[in-house]
Amino acid sequence: MKLRQRWVVGVLLVISVAWFTVALLSGQVPAGLMILSAGVADEPRLSISNRKIAADYTSGEEDNKDDEKTSDEIRAEMRKKGLPYDSTLYFAANSRRHLVPFEKVENRNKFEALFRDFPSGNRVPKLDRKDYLVRYREPQKHKKIWEIFHSNINRYEMYSFNNTALFTEYLDYLGTVPILKARGKSGGTQVKLFLVFADGGEALVKPWRVPREYETLPDHYYFADIERHTAEIAAFHLDRILDFRRVPPNAGRIFNLSTDILEHADSELAKLFYRSPAKNLCFMTECEQHCDLSENPVCGNPDTVEGSVAAFLPAEKEAKRASWTHPFKRSYSREKKAVWETDPNYCKRVVMLQHPYNSGRRLLDIVDLAIADFFAGNLDRHSYNTYKIFGNFSTVIHLDHGRGFGKYKTDDLSCIVPLTQCCIIRKSTYERLLILQQNEYKLGDVMRQSMSTDRIFPVLYEPHYDALNRRLDIVIEAVRKCISNADSEEDVLKLEPRIEDYVETQPPDDET
């Protein structure tokens, strides 16, 4: 009897081992069991979790079709679609069947209709030479696309309304132009690269860190959140759609870390590259947070990684900037709150009486910035910049959006405190928001269509578009509440301030 029992157990054991071996070879590993396949030199392999990602991001394709493909074929499809890879920082769930599928963009009809049917409400007055940031003595000699971009920056805008020709060429340029030099960008809280292109143009790169659907953890403070390259790209498109025109162009690009970066890296950056145990090419740059070499490097798959490429503004020596502390800066402390978070009258009691918010356009610019940050869910707004050459009557430059688009299930109303406390907004901004609330020009749809031509589309996880529409309704309702509580609509909806009416009360560089 004991012999028979041993024989049965032995047969069951052999069957179990055989089944598991077959399942492993075919990629059909039970849910919850992650096995990483270490790559070999001649054919780096995707992890099984990555193979599942590739399958789950397709629209209704059967799993067995994906299982028949080689790892190189799967990787090629992921690169072609701009799909994310597993991160060395945060590991995504093994099964992604619960994810919302990406919506296919058949056309850009809503995006095109928005710019076709409505002129800019943020109109620029007639410009003099002194209103331009860069003043080439011989403009005909400066025809590179980045030089054209620089020459268009003026007191009121980063680029002109619906400048399709410039965007088409410049965004393509950022995504394809050959790289001449690469070095690490030190400082800050995230990994960044500084690139010099073959034609002398420059750009700032933020590499891929987390999957599209990764949502900021509830226990994470805003100042400890990871930055997303997709947020930088989305912020540019959002800025254009809102008709603010204050964010530098930003495009997605797929890099080969070996041929695009390492071959052109300076000595300091080059020594930070290494091959991981999984045979992936990795690197790390100097920064203050999320930068532990052993835990959080940037890794290719095996050499390929996505990144956002932001157009560089004119050099500081040619166009000096003033840096200002945001009047609604957060405490950046786990224990303390900022004054405005506990005092509902802070704006009218303090901010509206201070220079430069007591006259001109600055406070209206801060409200615009708050609305953009609320749409993106960006709580990390501690400072902002202006150009010194224009004095204090100058548009605010919108930079650093990497901590945006981290949450899509919840909305942080503290982002729009500048609006709800000050209760003023540009009339042109409010009218634009009302347009984007209409179904024909729905903000979420226009955003999706606007980014559909980017090389790493889909740029955002699908629920972010619903969040944009939801937050738009919240902002409009907040404005209506301000109007209902005001003596007149004109007290809330402000016409564009004129430079002729502005009197400078303090030097433009009172903050550095």
138 alpha-carbon distance from chain centroid: 36
Name the nearest CA neighbour of 79 among 297, 279, 282, 253: 253
Name the nearest CA neighbour of 188 among 406, 404, 415, 400: 400
Name the nearest CA neighbour of 145 among 159, 162, 131, 133: 159
Contact assessment for residue 243 and residue 428, using Cβ atoms and an 8 Å cutoff: yes
CA distances (Å), 429 to each of 41, 219, 363, 368, 426, in order?
55, 34, 13, 8, 5
| Residues belonging to the chain | 512
Contact assessment for residue 504 and residue 435, using Cβ atoms and an 8 Å cutoff: no
Name the nearest CA neighbour of 56 among 27, 20, 24: 27
Name the nearest CA neighbour of 234 among 442, 77, 468, 472: 468
Q: Which of 303, 368, 373, 380 is catalytic?
A: 380
Residue 380 annotated to the active site = yes
Give the helix ranges, DSSP H, for 118-180. Answer: 145-152, 164-176
Number of CB atoms found within 10 A of residue 121's CB = 16
Helix-helix angle 164-176:145-152, to 10 degrees = 130
Catalytically active residues are 380
